Structure 1
Amino acid sequence: MSAWRHEWRLLLRARGAVAALLLLAVLSSVAVGLGLREVQRQHDTIARVAELQHQELAAQAPRLTRYGDAGTVAYYAFLTTWDPPSPAAYLALGLRDATPYVLRVRALALQSQLHEGETFNPELALAGRFDFAFVAVYLLPLFLIVLLHDLVSSERQSGRLALLRALPGAGRGLWLRRAVLRAGLATAALLLPAAAGAIVSGMPAGHLGLVAVAVLAYAACWIGLALWVGARDAGSVAHALVLMGAWVGLTLVLPTLGHAVLARSVPVGQGVALMLAQREAVHGAWDLSREATLARFFRSHPQWQHTAPLPAGFHWKWYYAFQQLGDEAVAPQVAAYREALMARQRATDGLGVALPGVGLQAVLHRIAGTDLGAQLAYQDAITAFHTRLREHHYPYLFDERRYGMDDFARLPRYAPPPARPQGPVGSLLALAALGGALLLAGARAAGRVR
């Protein structure tokens, strides 16, 4: 215990190290604060949109039901869906920056409504967001490099290394003690603001524990690397340059190259292409025989084939039949698109096995519920709600029943399904294994310091 107290006093005398720890705590606090503010802004937006929809539907009800026409109601009544942020979303906002979390839908073809929100300016998302994940993945290694790069070289350059090695308890234990103390304080400076944010947001303690384990495993990677480099017979500047090169390679260059390779090896189209294909199918139906269109619709929906023949001129049941056929026409493309997205996500998780920064991002995004799986789950919830909306209108359309105020009041209302976040077990185990291996290599190298 006296050895630890001695190392603590030495650390307090190092003003640069203390300043670095304080700065890291400040940056983590700012990132957590910005994340909490963004999550609250999204909650406020969802609440405001829900209230506006309530007012809009109340104002529309008398006008849309005046003539008892269900097709008019289905066409003009937009209903709001929303994807509320999880309590852990403040840690890593992920795809919530680039995909809509509020979407209004109606009983027309769905795919064009799902993907028209993808038309955003990509430059707005290029810089990313300053959140906890950014600080943990990119800035924590820099602070660990500052704190650990000269553990051995500073003693060698000052001429104290031989004396230290002659003292009891010197050797591997000394360097590990110093590294663990400094790195432990750095991770505490990073995690304490996150814990405060968890209390404010109501994040479960189990999720906070997973975040702590992931950050500690990531820190172990850089502790081991710093010990391994620091054990080499070179000066502090050389050690810092090598570690900075490793930071550039592991956090910037290799992830960028890896994602570029994945983009070429696992090509994924754009949702906008699905939207255009679906719209082409819908618009092309205007030039086709109405009876042939209904015959195609009845093959997949035989429960409505008893409907009366189409009268001359326009009829809503024909219109909504070819709207649904437009969705069914692109169903194979939708399935292929989603499978390609998931294949790329699995490949990215595999990349995280070798690159700790990618692995930590995968863990944080999954815990926060802001990864690809969460976005696809929101789309599935919208699809299920859209099916309920169609099933609500079809009896009025095909049985040609009058649609009144009471029927309008029974319009389906969206309710987000309970969140079921998938535990990042695989990514977390891979990150822990990588951190343990690098820490073991660094500890062995520290035992061979001369």
Structure 2
Amino acid sequence: MKNLKFELLLLLRSRPALAALVLLLLLSALSVWSGMRTVAEQNAALQRIVAVQAKDIAERTARQAPDAEAGLTAYYVPHLTIDPPAPLAFAAIGQRDVQPYALQVRALGLQAQLYESEAFNPELAAPGRFDFAFVLVYVAPLFIIALMHDMVSGEREAGRLRLLSSLPATPGALWRRRVLLRLALVGAALLLPLLAGALLSGAAVGESAMLAAAAALYLAFWCGLAAWGAAVARTAAAGAAVLLAAFVLLALVLPTGVNAALERALPVAQGAELALAQRQAVHTAWDKPKEETMQSFFRSHPEWKDTPPLPEGFHWKWYYAMHQAGDDAVAAQAAQYRDSLWSREEWTRRAGLLLAGVNVQVLLHRLAGTDLEARLAYMDRISAFHGQVRQHFYPYVFDERPFGPGEFAKLPSYQPASAAGRPPWPLVLALAALAAATLLLGMRRTARCS
């Protein structure tokens, strides 16, 4: 303990090292504050949207005639679905920055409504958010390199390395203390603001601990790699160059290459194309015989096959059958779109088994509930709720029952669910293995320094 205290005092007496730790603490705090501000803005926006929706329903109820047509009401009345951020969303904003977190659906075709809000400005989305995940993955390794690149070569250049190697202690004990001390200090500077943010956000202890553990393992990976680089380099400049090259390769080049390869190997059409295909299927049905559309509808909804025959001219039950037929026409395309998205996610996770940066990003976004899995879960909840809306209106439309003011109180209500979830355990184990292997490699290499 006395030796550790001495090493701590020695490190903190170095102004560059102390400045680096303070700066990292400030950057981490700033990223947590930025993430919490983004989450607060999204929650405030959701509150405004809910209030506007409630006001709209109240006004429609007041204007509704006792003998109003249910089909007309179903056409115009929107039903709100929301996806509130999980408590840890501030740490990794993920897809919440580019995907809608509130969506209104009506009793019309589902696919067109799911994807009509998918478009966003790529120039605004490209920079991403300055959140904790960004600081951890791309900034923290640079501070570790700055603190450790001359850990061995600095002693060699100062002429103290042989003296330190001759001290009566376990071989490598000095370097282990120095590596672990830097790991602890960097971890404290990075994780203290994160834990404070998790406490203020009301995040669960288990999820917060898992996120902090994933971050600590990633830091351990880079500390081990930095210790190895510091040990193999003969000069401080060479150590910095080797470690910066490793950072560029592992944090920038390889993840970008994997992403580009996945985009080429697994092309995914835009959701807007799916929405367009559904709308075209609906529009085409206007030119088909009505009975053909109704028979198609009855195959998926046999409970309405005994409905009275269609009268001459327009009827709402034919109109909603037409929208159902449009959804059925693009069902295979919608499933393929979803499967393509999930295939990319699975291959990204496989890449994370070897690339620590990819791994920790997947883990953080999973724990924060801001990844593709959370997005698809929200879409599943929208689909289920849309089915409830349709089933609620069908008895009014097909039995030609009026939809009076009192019927608004019976409308189905959407219930949001938590998006956060457990991380993929193979990735957790892989990150732990990568961290342990590099840390052991760095310790063993520094133990041979003399």
**What is the TM-score with the length of structure 1 in the denominator?**
0.98
The residue number in structure 1 matching 2:165 is: 165
Q: Determine if contact 1:92/1:132 at 8 Å carries over to the other structure.
A: yes
CA contact (8 A) 1:88 1:368 kept: yes
Contact 2:153/2:235 (8 A) holds in 1: yes
Listed one character per residue, the Cα deviations across residues 79-120 of structure 1 (whole Å, up to 9, x for unaligned) are 111001000101001000110001111111011111011111
The CA distance in 2 between the partners of 1:5 and 1:62, in whole Å, is: 74
Further displaced range: 440-449 or 102-111: 440-449
Q: Which runs of 5+ in 1 are unaligned?
A: none
Q: SS in structure 2 opposite 1:237?
A: helix
Distance 1:328 1:64 in 2: 32
Write out per-residue CA displacement over residues 386-431 of structure 1, whole angstroms, 9 at most, x where no aligned residue: 0000001000111111111111221111111344613332211111
1:64, 1:72 within 8 Å by CA — same for their partners in 2?
no
Q: CA deviation at 1:382?
A: 0.5
Q: Give the conservation status (yes or no) of the 8 Å contact 1:221–1:436.
A: yes
Tell me which residue corresponds to 2:446. Answer: 446
Q: Partner of 1:302 in structure 2?
A: 302
Residues in 2 aligned to 1:303 and 1:161: alpha-carbon distance in whole angstroms? 85
In the alignment, which residue of structure 2 is the partner of 1:238? 238
Aligned residue identity for 2:354: A
Per the TM alignment, residue 31 of structure 1 is displaced from its structure 2 partner at its CA by 0.5
**Aligned-partner Cα distance in 1 for 2:423–2:448:** 39
Q: Which residue of 2 aligns with 1:191?
A: 191
Could you say if the C-alpha distance between residues 399 and 218 of structure 1 is closer, same or farther in structure 2, counting changes exceeding 3 Å? Answer: same
Distance in 2 between the 1:270 and 1:444 partners? 50
Aligned residue in 2 for 1:348? 348
Question: CA separation of 1:199/1:420 partners in 2, compared to 1, >3 Å: closer, same or farther?
Answer: closer
Report the counterpart of residue 39 of structure 2 in structure 1. Answer: 39
Quick one: distance in 2 between partners of 1:259 and 1:224?
26
Q: What is the SS of the residue equivalent to 2:87? A: coil
Check conservation: 1:147, 1:182, Cα contact below 8 A: yes
- For 1:213-228, list aligned pairs within 5 A: 213-228=213-228
For 1:128 and 1:342, how far apart are their aligned partners in 2?
21
Give the partner amino acid of 1:168: P
Residue in 2 that maps onto 1:58: 58
When residues 420 and 178 of structure 1 are mapped into structure 2, their CA distance, relative to the original with a 3 A threshold, is closer
Q: What's the offset of the Cα at 1:67?
A: 4.2
Deviating more after overlay: 405-414 vs 2-11: 405-414
For the 8 Å contact 1:65–1:408, the answer to whether it is kept is no
Q: Is the 8 A contact 1:171 1:449 kept in 2?
A: no
2:121 alignment counterpart:
121
Which residue in the other structure is 1:436 paired with? 436
1:380 aligns with 380
Deviation at 1:64, TM superposition (A): 4.3
How many matched pairs?
A: 450
> Any idea what SS the aligned residue of 1:438 has?
helix
The superposition leaves residues 136-191 of structure 1 with CA deviations (integer Å, 9 ceiling, x where unpaired) of 00001000000010000000001111111111226411111111101210111000
Residue-by-residue CA offset, 1:211-235 (whole Å, 9 max, x unaligned): 1211121111111111111112411
CA distance in 2 between partners of 1:264 and 1:33 (Å)? 37
> How far, CA to CA, are the matches of 2:444 and 2:264 in structure 1?
40
Is the CA contact (8 Å cut-off) linking 2:141 and 2:219 kept in structure 1? yes
Structure 1 residues 408-417 or 193-202, which shifts more?
408-417
Q: 2:370 corresponds to which residue?
A: 370
Q: How far 1:300 moved relative to its partner?
A: 1.4
| Counterpart residue identity of residue 243, structure 2 | L
Residue 80 of structure 1: SS of its match in structure 2? strand
Percent of aligned pairs with the same amino acid: 52
Distance 1:258 1:298, change over 3 A: same
RMSD, aligned α-carbons: 1.2
Shift of 1:339: 1.3
Match of 1:87 in 2: 87
When structure 1 is superposed on structure 2, of 3-12 and 261-270 the one drifting more is: 261-270
Displacement of 1:60 in angstroms is: 1.3
The 2-side partners of 1:442 and 1:309 are apart by: 79
Question: Using the alignment, how far apart are the partners of 2:328 and 2:415 within structure 1?
Answer: 25
**For residue 174 of structure 1, what is the aligned residue in structure 2?**
174
Q: Which amino acid is the alignment partner of residue 335 of structure 1?
A: A
User: Counterpart in 1 of 2:264?
Assistant: 264
Q: What is the CA-CA distance between 1:441 and the residue it aligns to?
A: 1.1
Equivalence for 1:289: 289
SS at match of 1:168: coil
Answer whether contact 2:66 2:402 (CA < 8 A) is retained.
no
Other structure's SS at 1:104 match: strand
The answer to whether the 8 Å contact 2:91/2:133 transfers is: yes
Question: In the TM superposition, what whole-angstrom CA distance separates every residue of 1:48-69 from its partner, at most 9, and x where no partner exists?
Answer: 1111111111111243445420
Question: Residue 367 of structure 1 contacts residue 424 of structure 1 at CA under 8 Å; is this kept in 2?
Answer: no
Provide the secondary structure at the position in 1 that maps to 2:116: helix
